[in-house]
A and B are shown apart, each in its own frame.
Chain A
Amino acid sequence: MKRRDKSDNHLDQVDQHFEPWEPNQPIPLFVIALAFALAVWGALTYLSEFGAAHDETGPEAVQQASPDIPEASTAAEAQGLQNASPEVLGLVYSGKDDMWSCASCHGASGEGTASTPRLAGQVGDYLFKQLQDFHSGSRDDDNMAFVVSALNEDEMRDLADYYAQIRLPSRVAPTMGGDLERGRVLAESGDWEENVPACLQCHGGSGEGVEPFFPMLAGQHPEYTFVQLAKWHAGARGNSPQALMDGIAEAMSPEDMRAVSDFLATLPLRSRTQAQSFTGPVGE
C-alpha cells in the first residue's frame, strides 16, 4: 500500500506542460573563448614559422645576397656527365624497364632539388652504401627502396661511381631561415656541452666529405640536410655507422638543425668542382 501511495505521488508531480525538446542553448562563453585562444595560438605559430622561413632569407633575399649563384643550366656547367658506359647512362637517364630514371628526380646532372639530395660529386663509397641500405631496408625510404629493387650490386657500384665523379659547383644557398652565425659555430667548433662535435671535424675541413664513410655536406640542399637531421633526431633514419648521427642530431634543437643546414649551404665546394683535383676514391 505504501508503495502505491508513493507512485501516486509521483504521478501528481508530473508537469503537464513538460516539453521534451530543449530550446537552443547558447554556446557557453568559455568554449568560444577557448576556440579564440587556440586560433590566436595557431595564427601566431604559423606567422612566426612563415616569417622565420621567408622574412630575412627568403628566396628573393637569397638571390640578392649571393648573386654569384649560377643561373645557367646545370648540364652546361657539369663535368663528367658522359663518363660512364651506355648501360649506366641508360639507368641514369632512361631508367630500366618500367623503372624510372635517376635523373627524373635527382636532375640531369645529379644536382637534386630541395629535399631530393644532390648526388653530383658525393663520396662514391657513401652513395654505394646508401643504395645497399635502401635495398636492405636499413635506410627507410619507399621511393628509393622501390627503385633500388631493380638494381643489382654492380649497377649500384657503377651508379655511385658515376655520380661521384661529376664535377659541379655548389648551386645552393640558405633557405631554412637558420641563424648562420650559430650554424658556423656548430659546423666549425661544435657544441661540446651537448656532445655535438663540429660537422667539419668528420666531414672534411671544407665539408667536402672524407672517403670512404663521411659524405660531402657542402653544396647539399639545406632542405635535404635539415630533413635528414630531423629524421635522425626522431629516430627515423637508422643507417649511420655506430649510430653516431642519431646521437648528434638528437642533441640538436630544431633551430640548430636549421642553422647548420643553412650554413653548410654557404660553403663553396671548391675541390669537388674541378675535375683536375679529383684523384679517385681513396678507399683502397
Chain B
Amino acid sequence: MSTNSSQSGGLSQTLRRLLKAGALGLAVFAFGTLLFQSGVWNDAYSAVSGIPKTDEADIEKQALASRAEMLDARETWLADVQSDPPKIPVSSEGYYAPPAEADIPDTPFGESIRRGRDVFLNTGKHAPDYVGNSQSCANCHLDGGRKENSAPLWGAYPKYPMYRGKNKKVNTFQERIRGCFTYSMNAPDSPSGMPPPLGSDVYVDLEAYAYWLADGLPAGGTVPGAGYPKVAKTELGYDYERGEEVYQANCSLCHGESGQGRREADGSVQFPPLWGPEAYNWGAGMSRINTAAAFIKANMPLSKPNSLTDQEAWDVAAYINSFERPKDPRQTGSVEENRAKYHEGDQIYYGQKVRGEILGQGVSREQADASR
C-alpha cells in the first residue's frame, strides 16, 4: 500500500469509487422520485399519521375522468346495446360532477349556454327588464348553479315537469324559473312590471345552461346534493332576537349592519341586500325561515359552509326574515287573507306581529325613495 504504483492506483480507484457513488446516487434519487410519484409515500404517511391524504387536484381530476368515462360509455352503448350503460359522472366527494366551464361547445347551442350563464350570474345586468330588486340567481345558487347543497341547477332541471304544491299544478322548468323572477327577483317592481313571458329567450338560455349542466344525470328523481339540506329542528326553536347577534358577528361584514348589502363605487351590487325593497319578496321561498336556515347552514359565510350551529342558522334566518320586504305579488286582499291562502303552516313571519308591526305590508322602491 505504500509503493508508488499503488498510490496512482489509489487515485484512479478513488475516481472509480466516485463514479460508482455517482451512479448509485442517481439510482437512489430515481428510486426516491419514483417512490414519491407512485404515491406509496403519501399512503404510508397518511396511514402512520392518521392525517387523510390530500391531493388538491384530486376532486377535479376524478370528476373529469369520470365524465370522460361516461361519454365513452355512451358511444359504446349506442354501438352495442349489450355493453354497460354509462354511469353518472361523480367527483371524488361522490356528488354529481357537472361539465367544466371550458367544455361549453363553440356552437349556437354553446352561445345560448353562455348567455344563460350570464343571466344566471348577473341577472340585473343581463335581464334588466324583469328584475325588480338587487338580486341575481347566483346569490342563492352558488358557483353559478353548480355547487352541491346550494340548490344546483343540475339538481332541479331533471325533475321538471313537476307537480308543485306552491301553485298546485304541474310546472314546466320555464314556469319554475318564472316563479324565481316573480318572487326572488321581485319582477312586479321591474321596468316591465312582470317576469319574462313564457317562451322568452331569457328562459330558453337559462334552460340551455341548466340542461347542459345536468347532462349526465337521468331525468326524474332527486340526486344527492340537490336543493338545500334541511336543518334539524332545535329544542329552542328560532328567535330573531337571538339571531341579531349571530348576524352582526357573521353576516354584516358583507351584507351590512342593516342588511342592505354592499355596492361597488360604480353602483353595481357586490353583496345582495337581505331585506328591504331591494331584497326577495314575501312570496319567495327564501322568506321562509326553514329554507333560509338550510341555505345559510350549508353555504354561509362564503368559504365557511356548516360553520354555524343549527341553532345559529335558525336564529339568524329568523332575524333576516323578521324585516319588511317587497309584498307578496299574489296578495289581492289583506295580508291576513293572503297568509291564510298561501302561507298557512309555513315557518314565516308573514302576517305575524314582529317588533309591534304586522309583517307583510311590503316595502317598495317607490316608498323607499319617497321616505329618503
- Residues of B within 8 Å of A137, CB to CB, are none
Q: CB within 8 Å of B: which of A7-47? A: 26, 29-30, 32-37, 39-41
Q: Do A29 and B21 touch across chains, with their CB atoms under 8 A apart? A: yes
Name the contact of B25 in the complex, choosing from A40, A202, A208, A248 (C-beta under 8 A): A40
- Residues of B within 8 Å of A202, CB to CB, are 254, 270-271, 302
B99 in contact (CB, < 8 A): no
Q: Do A242 and B253 touch across chains, with their CB atoms under 8 A apart? A: yes
Which of A65-73, A171-179, A271-279 lies at the interface? A271-279
Q: Do B17 and A29 touch across chains, with their CB atoms under 8 A apart? A: yes
Q: How far is the CA of A244 from the CA of B302 in the complex (A)?
A: 8
Q: Do B29 and A196 touch across chains, with their CB atoms under 8 A apart? A: no
Q: How many residues on the A side are at the interface (Cβ–Cβ under 8 A)?
A: 43
A190, A196, A277 pick with most chain B CB within 10 angstroms: A190
Q: Do A248 and B29 touch across chains, with their CB atoms under 8 A apart? A: no
Name the contact of B265 in the complex, choosing from A33, A34, A190, A208 (C-beta under 8 A): A208
How far, in Å, is A161 (CB) from chain B's closest CB? 15
Given the known interface contacts A29-B21, A242-B253, A253-B56, the answer about A192 and B265 at a Cβ–Cβ threshold of 8 Å is: no
B103 in contact (CB, < 8 A): no
A195 in contact (CB, < 8 A): yes
Given the known interface contacts A32-B17, A36-B22, A40-B25, the answer about A277 and B302 at a Cβ–Cβ threshold of 8 Å is: no
Given the known interface contacts A211-B262, A213-B253, the answer about A33 and B146 at a Cβ–Cβ threshold of 8 Å is: no
Q: CB within 8 Å of B: which of A236-284? A: 241-242, 244, 247-248, 251, 253, 256, 271, 277-279, 282
Give 14 A-B pairs besides A202-B270, A204-B264, A242-B253 with Cβ atoms closer than 8 angstroms. Answer: A30-B24, A32-B21, A32-B22, A32-B24, A36-B25, A189-B143, A194-B56, A201-B302, A205-B270, A211-B265, A256-B56, A278-B265, A279-B265, A282-B265
Pairs A-B, 9 closest by C-beta atoms: A36-B25, A32-B21, A33-B24, A37-B28, A37-B29, A33-B25, A192-B143, A193-B59, A37-B25
Which residues of B are in contact with A by a Cβ distance under 8 Å?
14, 17-18, 20-22, 24-29, 32, 56, 59-60, 91, 93, 101, 142-144, 146-147, 249-250, 253-254, 262-266, 268, 270-271, 301-305
